[in-house]
Amino acid sequence: MMVSKRTRRTREFTGPTPHSVAILARPPNKRPPEYLILERRKQEEMLQEYTKNTQYIEINDLRNEWERGTDRKIKLNTAKRKVHSLMYANQSSVEDRRERLREMLQNEESQYLREMEDREETTIERQAKMRERAKSLKERRESERLQFVQEKLDQQFRNQCEELRSTLSKRQQDQVCVERLEQLRIKEEIEREKQANEIMYAELWEKDRLAKAAKEERDAISAHDRNREVLTILRKQAAALEQQKEASVQLKKEEAELLRQQTILRRLEAERAQEEKINKQIETRDMLDHSLKLKMKKRAKAEQEQLAFDLKMLEQLLVESKNEAMEQMQKKRELREQDRIYREYLSHMKETEKMRQQELEKMINEEVEKMWQKRLAQWQLEREARRKLMEEVLARRREQVQDRLRANELKQMEADQDREELMKVIEENQKTEQALREKLWAKNHQYQQDLEGQINHNRELRQQEYTRDNEEYVLGLQAEREYQYKLKDCLSNPTFDKLHPMRRAMEQK
């Protein structure tokens, strides 16, 4: 869209020419002047309506709730009342029934009582009953008697019929024979079984005995082994102790040797230092002497050369002066003069030489002294270093010795401890062995007592058996006597013997 076509929002209105602007009039306010108040009133009215509405709803809710609750309660109460009334009705009906039952039972009981009373029997009835009873008893007795008579008759027949008896006795004898054979067989079988049992027990006993012997042997061997083992252990422990002792002695010896070596070392060192010092001094002196001689020789040579040259020159001059006496004279004077000067000069030279000599000597001396000092210092240093080294070495050595001593001590202590422990262990071993020995003794003692008890018991049993046998024997004698008497009696008065109960039972079968 074009810029110019955009509608303006402002109230300004541009004209065709520049700077021609008109302003639109402000539109009048649409809202009435009391707009806010009205608005507020409206809101309040609405609010009021809402509250009224909610209140109405609440009231309705409450009412409904109440109605429902009340309905429920009414229903519940009705049901309860109904149940209660039913229960009550049931209770009352039960009560009613109970009442009726009680009445009925009472009536019945009284009726039964009455009947019981009514049933008290009369004298005639009782007599009749008694008669009846007597009759029946009589009849029963008669029938019993008849039966008995029949039985007796039968018995008589049996006893008196010879044929029957002989047959019976024959049959009986056969049976007895067969049975006896059977009995013998059974007896034999029992005997065999018994023997087999005995053999088996003997074997078992033998096996047991062998097992016990083997076990004892094993025990003895094991005990012996154990003892030997303990002995070897003890020996080992003693050897270890001995070794430790030796080691400590060795250590002490070593220490003494070390100390001695140290002193020797120290002495040697001192000697060597002394020797060295003297050697050095001698050497220096020699060297100095040598240098001095060389110097002197050199100087003397130089002087002599000088003197020779001077004399040569003089001779030359004298040769020349012979030609010229005057001159010579002159020259002699001059020469004298010169000689004197020369002499002076020579003396002077000698003096200076001497001085210089002295000076040189002094210098040399100084030099020597200095050298000496230096050497001394060097020596000192060396000695110091050596001393230090020595000291270090010694200290190290001492430390080593100390360490070894300490280690030795430690070892000794350990050895002591070990020894103590060893002693303890030995003691313990001894104790346990003692306890074992005691236990074994107690066991053996117990076993001995048991055996003795068993022996006593067996003896008692034997005694009892003996007395019982004796009693039985006496009783048997008595019984035998009685039996003989009875037999005699029976023989003198023989009756029909009854069958053996076993046989009777078999026959019945």
Q: How far is CA 465 from CA 208, 370, 456, 470, 472, in A?
A: 29, 136, 14, 8, 10
Q: Which pair of structure tokens corresponds to residue 305? A: 């050369």
How many residues sit in the footprint of other proteins (CB under 8 A)? 13
Q: Out of 101, 149, 363, 474, which residue is the one contacting other proteins (CB under 8 A)?
A: 101
Q: Which stretch binds other proteins (CB under 8 A): 42-50, 107-115, 255-263, 278-286?
A: 107-115
8 three-state secondary structure: coil
Min. distance of Cβ 101 from other proteins in angstroms? 5
Closest to other proteins by CB, 118 or 497? 118
Closest CA to 397 of 253, 265, 244, 245: 265
Distance CA 459, CA 466 (A): 10
Considering the rule CB under 8 A, would residue 116 count as an interface residue with other proteins? yes
Q: Out of 22, 36, 94, 381, which residue is the one contacting other proteins (CB under 8 A)?
A: 94
Considering the rule CB under 8 A, would residue 509 count as an interface residue with other proteins? no
Label residue 508 exposed, middle or buried (CB < 10 Å: 0-12, 13-18, 19+): exposed
Label residue 392 exposed, middle or buried (CB < 10 Å: 0-12, 13-18, 19+): exposed
The position carrying tokens 């002077």 is 348
Min. distance of Cβ 100 from other proteins in angstroms? 6
Strand-pairing partners, residue 12, are 23
Min. distance of Cβ 126 from other proteins in angstroms? 17
Q: Out of 102, 301, 350, 424, which residue is the one contacting other proteins (CB under 8 A)?
A: 102
Min. distance of Cβ 136 from other proteins in angstroms? 20
What DSSP line would sit under 152-171, residue for residue?
HHHHHHHHH-HHHHHHHHHH
Closest to other proteins by CB, 86 or 479? 86
Considering the rule CB under 8 A, would residue 112 count as an interface residue with other proteins? yes
Contact criterion met (CB below 8 Å) for 459 and 453: no
Closest to other proteins by CB, 98 or 396? 98
Strand-pairing partners, residue 22, are 13
Considering the rule CB under 8 A, would residue 108 count as an interface residue with other proteins? yes
Q: Out of 80, 97, 356, 443, which residue is the one contacting other proteins (CB under 8 A)?
A: 97
Closest to other proteins by CB, 111 or 155? 111
Closest to other proteins by CB, 102 or 138? 102
Closest to other proteins by CB, 98 or 140? 98
Closest to other proteins by CB, 108 or 367? 108
Distance CA 212, CA 327 (A): 164
Residues found near other proteins in the complex (CB under 8 A): 94, 97-98, 100-102, 104-105, 108, 112, 115-116, 119
